[in-house]
C-alpha cells in the first residue's frame, strides 16, 4: 500500500474533469474504491483505479456541440506532473537524449540514433532563408526551412505512420542545421549540440549542452496546446506532415504561446538593470507576468523546476543568479511560481543566447510532439472538425 500512488479528492476531480460530488457517487456505485490512510481523516484513491475509470468514462462521454474530441495516447498532464507515454518528463529530461524522447513520442520505442538529413536539403533551405531581411528573427527562418524541406521530399503526401516517423528526424535536422552559425560547428552529432552554435557564440560546455537538451525534452509536447490543436486540425484535412507543422509554427508564433520567451528574456534584462521589483512592476502594467504561473500546475511547473536546477549548475555570473532568484522571490510573494519559460530565459542569459533563442528552442522541441499528434490524427476520420459558428451578426435580409 505504501508504494501505491494515492490521490486526493481534488486531484481525482481534476483528472476526471468532474465535481467532487460525482466522485462520491462513483464510490457509492462501486466504481471507485476509497483508501483509508492511517493518521488522515480524509479518504484517498489509488492512481491505477482512477486511470481505469478515466479510460472508461472519457471514452464514452458524449461530445458537446457535436465537436469530436482530440484524444491522445502521447501526453498526460495530471497530478502536477507531465508524462510522455506514461514516463515522467522532469525525471527523464536531465539524463535522456532528445532524439530518444522524440522516438518514444512517435513510436513508443526508445532508441538513441542520431538525426540526419541530406546536405542538399540543408544547403537549399539555408540559401532560401538567407533572403529574409536583416531584421528578421531567427524564428522567421523556420517556416522557410520547413517549406523547402517539404518541396524536396517527393514522399510528403504518403501519410502512412512509418513514412511520417521516418521523415521526422530529417525534418528536425533541417530545422537546426539550416540555421546560420553564430559559433563553431560542433563535432558532436546530437541535435542539442548542433543547435547550440546556432543560438550563441559562447563555446559549448557539458553542463550547458545538458541543460539545452533537457529544455528540448521538457518542451517536446504539452498535450493539446493551441499550436498542437492547429497541427491536428491541419492533419485532419490530410495536409502533409510539413504543412501541418507549418500550421503549428503559425500558432506558436503568438506572444501568449511560443513567442512569450522573448518577453521573459527582456524581463530578466530589466531585472539585471533595475532590480526584480521594477521588472515585475513594468510587466504587471501590461496585465500579465510572463515566465510565472501555469493553470495546469497550481503547485508549480515541474518543467521549470527541473530546468532551473540544471541552469544552477552552469558557471553563471553572480548578478544574473541574483536577478533570477530575486524575480522568483518577488513573484512568490504574489503567489506566482516560475514556469518553464523563465527557466529557458535563465538558460539563454547564462549561455549568451539572444532574446530569440527561446522561440527557436520551443519550435524545434515542439515539432517532435507535433509529429506524434500528426500520426494520431491521420488514424482518425478525415475532416472531422466542424464546430458550430455561433453566429452573432445581423440577420439575413429578407427577399
- Domains of the chain, residue spans: 6-90, 91-384
309-352 tens-digit pLDDT: 999 999 988 899 999 999 999 999 989 999 999 999 999 999 99
Q: What is the mean pLDDT of residues 18-24?
A: 84
C-alpha torsion angle, residues 245, 251, 257, 259 (rounded to 10)? 80
* HSE of 38, CA atoms in CB hemisphere, 13 A: 2
Q: What is the CATH number of domain 6-90?
A: 1.10.1660
Mean per-residue pLDDT over the chain, rounded: 91
**CA pair distance 145, 125, nearest whole angstrom:** 5
Whether the Cβ atoms of residue 268 and residue 324 lie closer than 8 Å to each other = yes
255-285 tens-digit pLDDT: 889 999 999 999 999 999 999 999 999 888 8
- Residue 91's pLDDT band, with cuts at 50, 70 and 90, is very high
Helix (H) or strand (E) holding 162: helix 161-177
- CATH 1.10.238.10 describes domain 91-384: no
User: Is 294 marked active-site?
Assistant: yes
Residue 40 C-alpha from the chain's centroid: 37
User: Is 65 marked active-site?
Assistant: no
Whether residue 139 has pLDDT greater than 60? yes
Q: If you search the block for the grid coordinates 460525482, which residue do you land on?
A: 22
Q: What is the mean pLDDT of residues 90-108?
A: 97
**CA pair distance 300, 303, nearest whole angstrom:** 9
Single out the catalytic residue among 222, 341, 349, 373.
341
Helix (H) or strand (E) holding 88: strand 87-88
Q: What is the mean pLDDT of residues 183-201?
A: 93
Distant-in-sequence, close-in-space partners of 69: CB < 8 Å, separation ≥ 6: 63
**Which pTM value belongs to this model?**
0.85
Distant-in-sequence, close-in-space partners of 125: CB < 8 Å, separation ≥ 6: 144, 145, 148, 149, 174, 178
Q: Which three cell numbers stand for residue 396?
A: 439575413
**CA pair distance 263, 259, nearest whole angstrom:** 8
Single out the catalytic residue among 294, 301, 349, 373.
294
Q: What is the mean pLDDT of residues 150-157?
A: 96
Amino acid at each position: 500500500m505504501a508504494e501505491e500512488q494515492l490521490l486526493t479528492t481534488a486531484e481525482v476531480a481534476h483528472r476526471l474533469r468532474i465535481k467532487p460530488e460525482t466522485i462520491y457517487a462513483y464510490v457509492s456505485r462501486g466504481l471507485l474504491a476509497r483508501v483509508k490512510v492511517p493518521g488522515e481523516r480524509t479518504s484517498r484513491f489509488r492512481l491505477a483505479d482512477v486511470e481505469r475509470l478515466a479510460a472508461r468514462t472519457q471514452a464514452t462521454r458524449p461530445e458537446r456541440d457535436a465537436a469530436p474530441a482530440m484524444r491522445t495516447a502521447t501526453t498526460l498532464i495530471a497530478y502536477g506532473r507531465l508524462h510522455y507515454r506514461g514516463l515522467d518528463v522532469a525525471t527523464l529530461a536531465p539524463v535522456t537524449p532528445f532524439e530518444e524522447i522524440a522516438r518514444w513520442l512517435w513510436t513508443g520505442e526508445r532508441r538513441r540514433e542520431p538525426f540526419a538529413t541530406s546536405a542538399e536539403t540543408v544547403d537549399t533551405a539555408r540559401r532560401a532563408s538567407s533572403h529574409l531581411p536583416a531584421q528578421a528573427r531567427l524564428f522567421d527562418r523556420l517556416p522557410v526551412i520547413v517549406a523547402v524541406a517539404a518541396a524536396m521530399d517527393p514522399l510528403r503526401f504518403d501519410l502512412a505512420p512509418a513514412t511520417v516517423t521516418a521523415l521526422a528526424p530529417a525534418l528536425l535536422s533541417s530545422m537546426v542545421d539550416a540555421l546560420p552559425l553564430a559559433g563553431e560547428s560542433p563535432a558532436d552529432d546530437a541535435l542539442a549540440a548542433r543547435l547550440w552554435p546556432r543560438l550563441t557564440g559562447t563555446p559549448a560546455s557539458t553542463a550547458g549542452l545538458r541543460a539545452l537538451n533537457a529544455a528540448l525534452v521538457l518542451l517536446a509536447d504539452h498535450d493539446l496546446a493551441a499550436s498542437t490543436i492547429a497541427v491536428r486540425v491541419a492533419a485532419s484535412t490530410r495536409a502533409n506532415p510539413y504543412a501541418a507543422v507549418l500550421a503549428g509554427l503559425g500558432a506558436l508564433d503568438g506572444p501568449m504561446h511560443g513567442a512569450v520567451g522573448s518577453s521573459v528574456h527582456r524581463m530578466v534584462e530589466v531585472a539585471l538593470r533595475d532590480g526584480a521589483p521594477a521588472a515585475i512592476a513594468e510587466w504587471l502594467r501590461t496585465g500579465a507576468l510572463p515566465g510565472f504561473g501555469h493553470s495546469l500546475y497550481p503547485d508549480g511547473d515541474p518543467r521549470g523546476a527541473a530546468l532551473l536546477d540544471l541552469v544552477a549548475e552552469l558557471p553563471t555570473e553572480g548578478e544574473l543568479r541574483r536577478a533570477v532568484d530575486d524575480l522568483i522571490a518577488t513573484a512568490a510573494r504574489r503567489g506566482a511560481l516560475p514556469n518553464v519559460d523563465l527557466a529557458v530565459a535563465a538558460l539563454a542569459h547564462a549561455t549568451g543566447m539572444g532574446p530569440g533563442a527561446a522561440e527557436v528552442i520551443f519550435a524545434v522541441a515542439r515539432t517532435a510532439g507535433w509529429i506524434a499528434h500528426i500520426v494520431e490524427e491521420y488514424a482518425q476520420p478525415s475532416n472531422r472538425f466542424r464546430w458550430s459558428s455561433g453566429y452573432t451578426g445581423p440577420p439575413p435580409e429578407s427577399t
